[in-house]
Structure formats: C-alpha cells, structure tokens
Amino acid sequence: LSGWIEGQVAQGTLKVDDPIFAAEQFFSLCQTRIAHRKRFNMPLENEAEEEEKVISNAVRVFLAAYGVASSEKKTAD
C-alpha cells in the first residue's frame, strides 16, 4: 500500500510525507468492529452493510487527511 501511495503522491493526487505511516494509518482505520468481531468469532448482523460503511468511511477519512483538492492537483502539460 505504501508503494501505491508513493505513486499517487508522484501523480499529485495525494500529499503524504511518510507513505509507510500513511499506509499504517489506513490499515488502522479498517480495524473496526468488523475486524474485532471476526477475530473473536462473534456474529455480525448486516455484514455487507457494515463492510460498506467501514470501507467508505476509512477512504473518506484517509482522503480528508491526505487528499489533494482539485485546485491543488498537478496538471499535465
């Protein structure tokens, strides 16, 4: 994931000083009730809905921290 993040930084879509740390943060964002319940073999109601919620919110928070606004993105000449 850190390699992908480095590529996105090079393309100007993300602004990240430490890609390894940013990757670790993203993985941490994904460690929610789903991961914890599965780790302890506990049932999970509405698993598909919960997964969608976790994924969309992890991406939203990650992009809020590291995303580049459209006005800041590099433009190809």
Q: What is the distance between the alpha carbons of residues 74 and 34, in angstroms, rounded to a whole number?
A: 37
C-alpha–C-alpha distance, residues 74 and 60, integer Å: 21
Tens-level pLDDT at each residue, the chain (77 residues): 999 999 999 999 999 999 999 999 999 998 888 888 888 998 888 888 988 999 999 999 999 999 998 767 665 44
pTM (2 d.p.): 0.79
In contact, 44 and 38? CB cutoff 8 Å = yes
Distance, in Å, from the CA atom of 15 to the CA atom of 11, rounded to the nearest integer, reads 10
